Amino acid sequence: MQGGDDDSSYAKNSEAPASAISLCRPLLLTTIESMKIFFRNEEEAESLRVADLGCATGYNTLATVDMVVEALRQRYINQCGFEPEFEAFFSDLPSNDFNSLFRSLSNIGILSDNKRKQYYAAGVPGSFYGRLFPRRKLHVAVSLSALHWLSQIPDGVLDKRSAAWNKGRVWIDGAKKEVVEAYAKQSEKDLEDFLKCRKEEIVQGGMLFLLMGGRPASQQPDNQLSDPDSRAKHPFTTSLDQAWQDLINEGMIDEETRDGFNIPAYMRSTEGGRQ
């Protein structure tokens, strides 16, 4: 993901996730309203720990955590008469631009003014397909528009000797059956790993809220982005294959370089997500 905040940065090119995240907010708020109350009085209260998994950088990141913390804070004030302390963990791969993220936190005063501080902020570098937190420590974990990114390009896809070798393509759009199956299998394993890790990390009565790019149950996996209008625009589809082919035709790169590149993303079906 591109760091910083210039025109090519993720922060300035994330309208689609922003829109999906906005749409899911009412559902997230309703879920928080129905959550267990963990501490009835201030003396017993531990800090409440909230994590954003696959947080990236930019406006979306802070807005989600701010909303979760504020909703929980109001509930404790109204129902228990005290304000618990909060820890907010912003997690993403070590290659994420945490420097930018931390600058945003200090720009809005979260780090500099104790009176205005609503949570203690920390960045957690690592893959959410492995453990990121100690046992039974998280009260709320959210992961918004991140779980369609796989932990790796599936085995075989970059291997000439494999039936799943994805020669000439950078993704499963239009690819042969074996490639699509390799992606589907990787996606299934990854989701299992994710859920297993979160099960260990989240306290009893805690909440896991997921929003992920997906496709209708009726739609086959080789048809990841069915809307003809979206297909025309989405960078993962054959327009990217064509761009690579142009580079090859112009002698800018060789075929081997193109064949070594694949996008590790997969849109699960609503049915697959439920299993």
In the bound state with a second copy, the residue whose beta carbon lies nearer, of 102 and 261, is 102
Choose between 27 and 122: whose C-beta lies nearer to a second copy.
Answer: 122
- Kindly report the number of other CB atoms within 10 A of residue 251's CB atom: 7
The least CB distance from residue 256 to a second copy, in Å, is 27
CB of 88 to a second copy, least distance (A): 11
φ, ψ dihedrals at 145, nearest 5°: 55, 45
Residue numbers of the site for a second copy (CB under 8 A)?
A: 3, 46-47, 85-87, 89, 94, 97-99, 102-103, 105-106, 111-112, 114, 117, 120-127, 130-135, 137
Closest CB to a second copy among residues 46, 159: 46
Distance of closest approach, residue 110 Cβ to a second copy, in angstroms: 9
Instruction: Rank residues 21 and 208 by Cβ distance to a second copy and give the closer one.
Output: 208
Q: Which is nearer to a second copy, 133 or 236 (CB)?
A: 133
To a second copy, the closest distance from the beta carbon of 230 in angstroms equals 33
Give CA–CA dist 17/207, Å, rounded: 21
d(CA 267, CA 14): 18
**Nearest to a second copy of 126, 272 (CB atom):** 126
Q: What is the nearest approach in angstroms of a second copy to the Cβ of residue 104?
A: 9
Name the residue among 275, 23, 39 with its Cα closest to residue 145.
23
Residue among 173, 144, 151, 184 nearest 233 (CA): 173
Smallest gap from residue 263 Cβ to a second copy (A): 21
